[in-house]
Amino acid sequence: MTPRRHDPAHARPAPLRTGDVSELTTGRLSVYLRCLETLESEGVPTISSRSLAERFHLNSPQIRKDLANFGEFGIRGVGYEVGPLRATIERILGIDQEKRAAIVGAGNLGSALAAYAGFNERGFRVVALFDADPAKAGTTTRTGQPIHPIEEIARVVRDEKVEIGIIAVPPAAAQDAYDRLCDAGVGAVLSFSPGRIELRPGIPSRTVDLKFSLEALSFHLGRRRGSKRAG
Amino acid sequence: MTPRRHDPAHARPAPLRTGDVSELTTGRLSVYLRCLETLESEGVPTISSRSLAERFHLNSPQIRKDLANFGEFGIRGVGYEVGPLRATIERILGIDQEKRAAIVGAGNLGSALAAYAGFNERGFRVVALFDADPAKAGTTTRTGQPIHPIEEIARVVRDEKVEIGIIAVPPAAAQDAYDRLCDAGVGAVLSFSPGRIELRPGIPSRTVDLKFSLEALSFHLGRRRGSKRAG
DNA sequence: GCATGTGAATGGATTCACAGCT
DNA sequence: AGCTGTGAATCCATTCACATGC
């Protein structure tokens, strides 16, 4: 639509078109990003939407439409340059600048998330944890992040410039963790607690209920007939 | 549609209508299930789709439509009986009979999932783990599940009647874990490895990329203006 | 020639509004 | 009267097909 002359893809960062985009679209950006990381590590220099789709079981018009929400990043007659497109998607997602996160709850799940590679590379870093158990305060995780008493959320979030709060406490403690994080000034919250949380408007939040995927699989299990082994 | 006389909701399990249902619908069943569990623990006996929607920020016609895919479970003029509806949804999801799961990868994440309450209550139980590290074989998790060498997947899946395989290994090992689980005869696979897996047809599978939710939040962070604190 | 970017067409899911039952 | 269950209407996302540009 913008008739502005199209710079080559490797030039200065193109302006990002910005408007209303569906969650489905942005979710797929993450998928594309993983694919591009793979291609880049294989040294593939450019790829068309068609081959990207074939290689990763996606569909090509959708890839083009999704990207078109944010600008024009391809080269007609050629395709997309893998490296620059990866960088562009990272910029769209805002992970070109490292986002600092902190985890409330240093139990099994919290500690595992703190050690999780995906939470400590390519745009994210877990810089601190909090726990209500005083015995854990002052110690560090196996991966070296400090564990603070939960009362210090406000101070640590400020000092460490934490932008994202992650909740990994038992359901009953989820609301308290959420409120403390919001009061401390984090910009977004990700919860792994199945407990229902009363959200505040204006603070983007997500809940990941790990059990949902198990239930979805269970549903499909029930519909598969002709299982080889009898129950 | 079925003009069969409608039995009271507390009677013998109603027949479940069965047909093609969207993933979006079944995903929401899990949401409704959590809500009903909450209501049940509060002792609420019946609830209308309207109040359910108001209480949990859902929308009422959608609740009715979603449920209508599977049968008629409500009482006109009254609403739904909380306990029976919960039981019905559990039956739809197939978790009225306990599903046994095993986890490949007894590292941080695998151990945390094995200990995760949601994976060991209300329809699911993690009965074993597997790890490539021989030092871990023969030990148990903190929650008491045995850890086996990865070569024993086939035997343990058979002996322990494992229906669901869960992958919690580093990306590079994900495909091998997947193949071993399928060969061993599991009916469904849930992967927490970001590594791309070539799937086999006929075996329902899901990948949960924990980083996706972080990236979604990062995206929205970038769009929020008027943040109180300057970066 | 070839692949992107995009308006137009299609297909699905959500929402509406009311008939039917309690 | 009140709420479910559902066809009809609306909305939104995906897919198509081609004009545009490399």
d(CA B99, CA A221): 10
Q: Is the CB of B88 under 7 A from strand D?
A: no
C-beta atoms of A214 and B124 within 8 A: yes
Model confidence at B220: pLDDT above 50: yes
d(CA A6, CA A68): 14
d(CA B169, CA B107): 8
pLDDT in tens, B21-53: 999 999 999 999 999 999 999 999 999 999 999
Nearest nt by C1' to A60 Cα = D15
d(CA A90, CA A87): 5
**If you average pLDDT over residues A26-51, what whole number do you get?**
97
Distances (CA, A) of A35 to A38, A40, B195, B217: 5, 9, 10, 20
Model confidence at B195: pLDDT above 90: no
**If you average pLDDT over residues B147-169, what whole number do you get?**
98
Would you say the pTM of this structure is higher than 0.85? yes
Question: What is the predicted pLDDT for the residue at A121?
Answer: 94
Q: b vs e for B20-45, b when ≥16 Cβ sit within 10 Å of the residue's Cβ?
A: ebeeebbebbbbbbbbbbbbeeeebe
Residue A177 near residue A149 (C-beta atoms within 8 A): no
Residue A79 near residue A48 (C-beta atoms within 8 A): yes
**If you average pLDDT over residues A63-84, what whole number do you get?**
97
Q: Which residue has the higher pLDDT, A230 or A217?
A: A217
Asked if the C-beta of B16 comes within 8 angstroms of chain A's C-beta atoms, the answer is no
Best interface-test mutation with B: which of A88, A212, A225, A228 has the largest number of B CBs within 10 A?
A212
Maximal CA-CA distance, chain A? 65
Token pair in block for residue B35: 């809500």
Considering only CA atoms, which of B44, B119, B104, B32 is closest in space to residue B70? B32
- In A, minimum Cα distance to B26 occurs at A216
Question: pLDDT confidence of B225, banded at 50, 70, 90?
Answer: low
pLDDT in tens, A98-154: 999 999 999 999 999 999 999 999 999 999 999 999 999 999 999 999 999 999 999
**If you average pLDDT over residues B128-137, what whole number do you get?**
97
C-beta atoms of B214 and A124 within 8 A: yes
Residue A154 near residue A177 (C-beta atoms within 8 A): no
pLDDT in tens, A158-197: 999 999 999 999 999 999 999 999 999 999 999 999 988 9
Model confidence at A9: pLDDT above 50: no
Distances (CA, A) of B30 to A3, A174, A213, B23: 47, 19, 9, 11
d(CA A113, CA B143): 18
Asked if the C-beta of A164 comes within 8 angstroms of chain B's C-beta atoms, the answer is yes
Distance, CA of A86 to C1' of D21, in Å: 23
